[in-house]
Amino acid sequence: MTGPFYGIYGASGCGRGILPLAREMLAAAGVSADRLVFIDDKPPAEVLNGHRVLTYQAFLAIPAPERFAALAVADSGVREKLADKCQADDVQPWSVRASSVVIMDDVVLGDGALLSPTVTITSNIRIGRQFHANIGSIVEHDCVIGDFVTFAPGVICNGNVRIEDHAYIGAGAMLRQGRPGAPLTIGRGAVVGMGAVVTRDVLPGVTVAGNPARTLDKD
């Protein structure tokens, strides 16, 4: 085969949600659907949603001048390991976005972003590598988001918020607006629970939930 080959790494729910968006992007670029596959280390089937499911090694064995992979794995630590593995094997990061995504002014978006339908990213925003923004999520002005951050569906991230690497923001969570020079900060590896309303900084590695969001006690 000639021409690039494309893979969605992960054949579970996240991957199956991203695949139709990838297929639409490739079709718009005139790329045949047979150049798009799932990659999975433990393939659940030979074919899913009309596309082959290959192991990573089988993906690498396909004759192609270039290979691209979108990392559709929710666990940010696993996502980072996969990104490192792909880089070592010259598999290029691939960003996938729905046609309904709105990106406004002065937005810097790192490699490998997966942006689901109706995501909105407004103005003067910096986002790192391998960002996942699920359906209906919003990033408002003057936010800085690190690498391997995940937004579940319906997150509202107001302006002047800083989110450090590997943070996870649960479905329907709302992050209060910060101030210029004093952003609301979500620390590295923190988890914001579903529906939480975050009104103050979240320390690295902790889990918060509720309205207003509070740190959950460890068992």
Q: Which residues pair with 8 in a beta bridge?
A: 38, 70
Q: Is residue 218 part of a domain?
A: no
Q: Is residue 126 part of a domain?
A: yes
Q: Is residue 18 part of a domain?
A: yes
pLDDT by residue for the chain (219 residues), tens only, comes to 578 999 999 999 999 999 999 999 999 999 999 999 999 999 999 999 999 999 999 999 999 999 999 999 999 999 999 999 999 999 999 999 999 999 999 999 999 999 999 999 999 999 999 999 999 999 999 999 999 999 999 999 999 999 999 999 999 999 999 999 999 999 999 999 999 999 999 999 999 999 999 998 765
Q: Which of 51, 132, 141, 166 is catalytic?
A: 141
Does the annotation count 141 as an active-site position?
A: yes
Q: Give the structural domain span for 44.
A: 5-94
Q: Which long-range contacts (CB under 8 A, 24 or more apart) does 150-158 make?
A: 150/74, 150/76, 152/194, 153/116, 158/184
pTM of the model: 0.94
212: cis peptide before it, omega within 30°? Answer: yes
- Last residue in a domain, options 94, 113, 142: 94
CA–CA gap between residue 107 and residue 97 (Å, rounded): 15
Q: Is residue 33 part of a domain?
A: yes
Same domain, 127 and 199: yes
The closest alpha carbon to 31, from 42, 20, 23, 39, belongs to 23
Q: Is residue 215 part of a domain?
A: no
- Last residue in a domain, options 94, 116, 137: 94
- Last residue in a domain, options 78, 94, 110: 94
List CB contacts of 30: < 8 A, sequence separation 6 or more.
none
Q: Is residue 53 part of a domain?
A: yes
Number of independent structural domains in the chain: 2
Q: Is residue 111 part of a domain?
A: yes
Q: Dig out the tokens for 125 from the structure.
A: 């925003």
Cβ pair 175, 184 in contact under 8 A: yes
Same domain, 122 and 201: yes
